[in-house]
A and B are shown apart, each in its own frame.
Chain A
Amino acid sequence: MQQLIFGLANGSIYALMALSIGMVSSTTGIVNFAYASVVMMGAMVSWWLMVIYQFSYIPALFVAIAVSIVLNIVIYETCVKKLGNLLDNVGWIITLFGASIILDNIARMLFGTEPQAFPYLFGGKMVTFFGANIMLHELMMITIAVVIGVAYQTIIKKTRFGRAVRAVAFRPATSELMGIKSEKIILSCFAMAGAVAAIGGVLIAPITFASYTMTYSIGLKGFAAAVLGGFGNTKGAFIGGFLLGLIEAFISIFVPAGIKDSISFVIMIIVIIFLPGGIMSAKIFNRNWSAAEKV
C-alpha cells in the first residue's frame, strides 16, 4: 500500500509535468525543453521564500506559481515568438535548450549547489490509510494533480476558451478568421503550463530535495511520462505520468536504487519503438477512429 501511494504520488507529479509539456505542444507543436527548468525554479523560489523569509507553504507556492508563469511567458516571447513561423524552422530546439541552461545557472548562482531540505505540507503529518502509514503530503500530491487534470480537461472541452485552444492547435490561421487572437491563446497556454510546472516542482521538492539539478533528475521524468502518454495528448499525459510512477515504485522493490532512474528511460525507449504515438495511440483506445477530413 505504501509503495502504491508513493508510486501514485510521484506519478501525479510526472503527470503534472507531462501536462505542462502537453499544454504547449498540443497548441504549438513544439516541445518546451525549458519547462523542466521552470519546474526547478518553482521549487527553488518557494524554498527560498520559506527558508529565508519564513513564508508558509501555501503563500510560497502561490508566489512560485506567479514567478513560473512570468518565466514561461518570457520564454515564449524571447525563445519562440521571435522565431516566426514554427512550421518552417526548428530554431526553438536551440533557443529553448539555451533558456534551460541559463535558468539552471541562474538558480545555481542564486540558491547554491547544495540540495536543500524542503518542508512537507501539513508539516509531514502521517495518516493511516488502509492500514498503512501514509504521509498526508502524498495524498495531497495525488489530489491536487487529479483536480488540475480534471479542471484542465473540462476547460478544454466545455468552455469558449477551450474551444479556441483546440481550434488554434489545429488551424491557427483559420482561427484568426474567427476573430481568435491565436497568439494570445498560445501565450495563455504557456502561462498555464508555467503554473502547472511550478505546482509540480513545489509538491515533489520535499521528496527529492530542492536543487538546481531537479531540471534533470525530475524534469526528464516529465518527458518520459509525456512520451508514454503521447506528445501533445494532455489526457495521455496523465495516464503516462501515473503509470510511470507506479512502474517505478514497484520496480524499485526489485532493483537497486541506483538504476531505478534509468527505468523510466528504458520504458520511454520501448514506447517510442513500439508505440510512437504513446500508449493512447494503441488500437484498443481508438476503435471509433473518425474519418479523415474531406477537402
Chain B
Amino acid sequence: MLKVENLTIAYGKTEVVHHVSFDVKKGSVVTIAGANGAGKSTILNTIVGLHRPKEGSILYKGEDIARKAPDKLVYKGIRLVPEGRQIFPEHTVEENILLGAYVEKDAKKIRDRMDEMYDRFPRLKERRKQIGGTLSGGEQQMLAIARALMTGPDLLILDEPSLGLAPIIVKDVFKLLTEIKQTGVTIMLVEQMVDNALSISDYAYVLETGNIVFSGTKDEVKNSDDIVKAYLGNV
C-alpha cells in the first residue's frame, strides 16, 4: 500500500529525518514509535503533501506521491488525522464533518457517509449544531477521525491519536481504529507510548532522531528490553 524509501526531510538546511525506509502493507496497522522531536509528524506531514521531502520516494499503490499536493492525495484516498486533532473550533460539528467531504461532489454520497458517521458516533449527532470548540478532547478526536473518514479513505494516518486523552477514552479510540481496520482500511499511526497502539498493530517501527532504529512485529517489540523500557509503559 505504502512504501517509503530512503526518505530524507529537512526544514531549511536542518535535516530532521535521515534516509528512512518503511513499509505499510494493505489492510495492516503499522505504528511508528518515537519520542518528542524524533520526526514523526514531519514524516506524516510529508506523506500527505504538506511538506516536500529533500530526497527519497513515497510509493502509494505503486505510484510515487512525494511532492504531490495535499488535495490530490485526498482524492487518491490518503487522509491524515493531524496531531492535536486540529478540528475547526468555530465551525459546527456538522460543518466540520462536511469539510471532511470537501472534495466529494456527490451530495447523496455525502449524506450517506454523514449518516454512517452519525450512526457510529451518536455523540457527534447529538452535538451536530454545537461549535467544534465546545467539544471535549475525546469528542474532538472522534470528530477529527469522522472528518477524515468522510471521503472513504484507503489509508488512514493518525498523528498521536491518544495525545492528551484519558486512558479510558484512549481505549475507545483504539477500539474504533480496530473497527475501521475491519472495514478494510489500512492504518498507519505514530505514538510516543505505544502500549495501546501495539495491541492493534501488525508491525512497528521505532524512530530516534530521524533514524529508524528498530522494526519488527508486535512480539518482537515486546521481546526487546530496550524498546519496552523506552516506549512501553506497562505491558
Known: A290-B131, A293-B89, A293-B133. A176 touches B82 (CB 8 A): no
Chain B residues with CB under 8 Å of A177's CB are 48, 50, 70, 74, 79-80, 82, 86
B131 adjacent to A178 (CB under 8 Å): no
- Tell me how far the C-beta of B113 lies from the nearest C-beta in chain A, rounded to whole angstroms: 14
Chain A residues with CB under 8 Å of B70's CB are 176-177, 179
Question: A248-275 toward B: CB 8 Å interface, digit per residue (1/0)?
Answer: 0000000000000000000000000000
Give the nearest-CB partner of B70 in chain A: A176
Q: Restricting to A156-175, which residues have a CB under 8 Å from any CB of B?
A: 160, 163-164, 166-167, 170-171, 173-175
Known: A160-B102, A167-B99, A294-B137. A176 touches B88 (CB 8 A): no
A179 adjacent to B74 (CB under 8 Å): yes
Chain B residues with CB under 8 Å of A109's CB are none
Question: Is B135 part of the binding interface, using a Cβ–Cβ cutoff of 8 Å?
Answer: yes
- With the chains together, A181 CA to B68 CA distance in Å? 13
Chain A residues with CB under 8 Å of B79's CB are 177
Question: Is B100 part of the binding interface, using a Cβ–Cβ cutoff of 8 Å?
Answer: yes
Q: Which of B85, B99, B134, B136 contacts A178 (CB 8 A)?
A: B99
Chain B residues with CB under 8 Å of A294's CB are 133, 135-137, 140
Known: A177-B48, A290-B134, A294-B140. A171 touches B86 (CB 8 A): yes
Known: A166-B91, A293-B89, A295-B84. A176 touches B134 (CB 8 A): no
Question: Is B230 part of the binding interface, using a Cβ–Cβ cutoff of 8 Å?
Answer: no
Give the nearest-CB partner of B85 in chain A: A295
Known: A170-B90, A174-B86, A293-B89. A160 touches B135 (CB 8 A): no
Q: Which of A166, A178, A291 contacts B102 (CB 8 A)?
A: A178
Chain B residues with CB under 8 Å of A170's CB are 88-90
A163 adjacent to B133 (CB under 8 Å): no
Chain B residues with CB under 8 Å of A167's CB are 88, 91, 99
Give the nearest-CB partner of A181 in chain B: B71
Question: B57-88 toward A: CB 8 Å interface, digit per residue (1/0)?
Answer: 00000000000011100110001101011111
- With the chains together, A164 CA to B71 CA distance in Å? 13
Q: Which of B88, B98, B131 is packed against the most chain A CB atoms within 10 Å? A: B88
Question: Is B40 part of the binding interface, using a Cβ–Cβ cutoff of 8 Å?
Answer: no
Question: Is A180 part of the binding interface, using a Cβ–Cβ cutoff of 8 Å?
Answer: yes
Question: Is A147 part of the binding interface, using a Cβ–Cβ cutoff of 8 Å?
Answer: no
Question: A27-47 toward B: CB 8 Å interface, digit per residue (1/0)?
Answer: 000000000000000000000
Chain A residues with CB under 8 Å of B132's CB are 293
